[in-house]
Copies of this chain bind each other. A is one copy, B any other.
Amino acid sequence: MKGKATSFDIAHYAGVSQSTVSRALRNSPLVNEETRRRVHEVAKQLNYKVDKNASNLRTQQSSTLALLLFEDPTSDESQINPFFLAMLGSITRACAKEGYDLLVSFQSSSSDWQADYEDSHRADGLILLGYGDYLDYQPKFRTLIEQNTKFVCWGASVDNRPDLTVSCDNYGGGKMAAQHLLATGRTDCAFIGDASDHSPEFFARYHGFKDAFLAKGITLSERKMANAISTEESGYHATRSLIANNIRFNSLFAASDLIAIGAIRALKEAKINVPDDVHVVGFDNIAVASFVNPPLTTVQQDTTLAGQMLVDNLLKLIRGEPVENTLLPPRLIIRGSSI
């Protein structure tokens, strides 16, 4: 036999029609048990595998999801945020569990989206992941909705369609961070991160943080805030600028772990001791967090659950089942940087 075996080859050797082969392989209850066994036997011998292109074409679905990972255009090409890599891992696992394949693709927010995975029938739906400027994404979300593309986003909600979003309770996480610092008595706090509508996740973390302080009658000073995107480098520079401007604080909340790690570097450089002089709290609980010096207190996002929920919600969307906005509970992990 030249080339791969087809269902006609199986039919020939099993002495049945090709239709019966197709039914037998899909374990249709219509087909006789003995026939079914014979067909499976022959298929195994010929190392036959159903041609996915043909079956997908026929059934008009792909059993494949596509993951689009957006990168902050300003971050280094080679360095992908470890938080998203962890998400990628859990999404891959969740897909496998549901019997779906996963196509992976990196997108830079400037370029055209390769959101044609669904249009070209390569995927039944999309999962969108990434930091970067949210306002840049908004019009693209709208296009996807108009085209009736099935997709689900990690992070901030999409226009008025929260059902398309799975996210961590960033507001609640920010509150946890604040309550921890309040409990340790470190109430003179700096915040590093982009607390604007360009980064809705950071914004929510900041607000939860601020509100928890406010509830204790403490107002955070605007002067002690510095803008940063989610990279070590950016966190380093933002913190340096605070120090350079002689801004004092005895605790620091970073919108992400990478920012926190950069902040710690800047503090060390300025001979400011962590945690003695400044308590530091991050967000994400990336793998590095427990290895830095001192180990980083942080708000953990459950990436395993997040991946599972993204896949589950997307599949519901694809099947036309009702989907709800999903908010995952964060968890405070206390380590040496704040005790």
| Interface set of A (CB-CB < 8 Å, partner B) | 4, 47, 49-54, 56-57, 62, 64, 77-80, 82, 85-86, 88-90, 92-93, 96, 101-106, 116, 119-122, 147, 261, 287-288, 291-293, 303-304
Question: Of B4, B53, B121, B293, which is within 8 A of A293 by CB?
Answer: B293
Closest chain B CB from A132 CB (angstroms): 16
Given the known interface contacts A80-B89, A92-B106, A105-B101, the answer about A53 and B288 at a Cβ–Cβ threshold of 8 Å is no
Q: How many angstroms between the C-alpha atoms of A291 and B261 in the bound complex?
A: 9
**A79–B304 contact, CB under 8 A?**
no
Q: Which residues of B contact A106 (CB under 8 A)?
A: 89, 92-93, 96
Q: Which residues of B contact A51 (CB under 8 A)?
A: 57, 120-121
Q: Which residues of B contact A88 (CB under 8 A)?
A: 85, 88, 104
Q: How many angstroms between the C-alpha atoms of A54 and B121 in the bound complex?
A: 9
Which of A49, A56, A86, A89 lies at the interface centre, i.e. has the most chain B CB atoms within 10 A of its CB?
Answer: A89
Taken together, the copies of this chain in the complex come to 2
Closest chain B CB from A45 CB (angstroms): 13
Q: How many angstroms between the C-alpha atoms of A89 and B116 in the bound complex?
A: 21
- Residue of chain B at shortest CB distance from A79: B287
Q: Which residues of B contact A78 (CB under 8 A)?
A: 89-90, 303-304
Q: How many angstroms between the C-alpha atoms of A147 and B82 in the bound complex?
A: 37
**B102–A101 contact, CB under 8 A?**
no
Closest chain B CB from A149 CB (angstroms): 10
Closest chain B CB from A53 CB (angstroms): 4
Q: Which residues of B contact A57 (CB under 8 A)?
A: 51, 53-54, 57
Q: Which residues of B contact A288 (CB under 8 A)?
A: 287-288, 291
- Residue of chain B at shortest CB distance from A54: B57
Q: How many angstroms between the C-alpha atoms of A304 and B78 in the bound complex?
A: 7
Given the known interface contacts A103-B102, A287-B288, A293-B293, the answer about A119 and B47 at a Cβ–Cβ threshold of 8 Å is yes
**B53–A4 contact, CB under 8 A?**
no
- Residue of chain B at shortest CB distance from A66: B101
Q: Which residues of B contact A293 (CB under 8 A)?
A: 291-293
Closest chain B CB from A28 CB (angstroms): 19
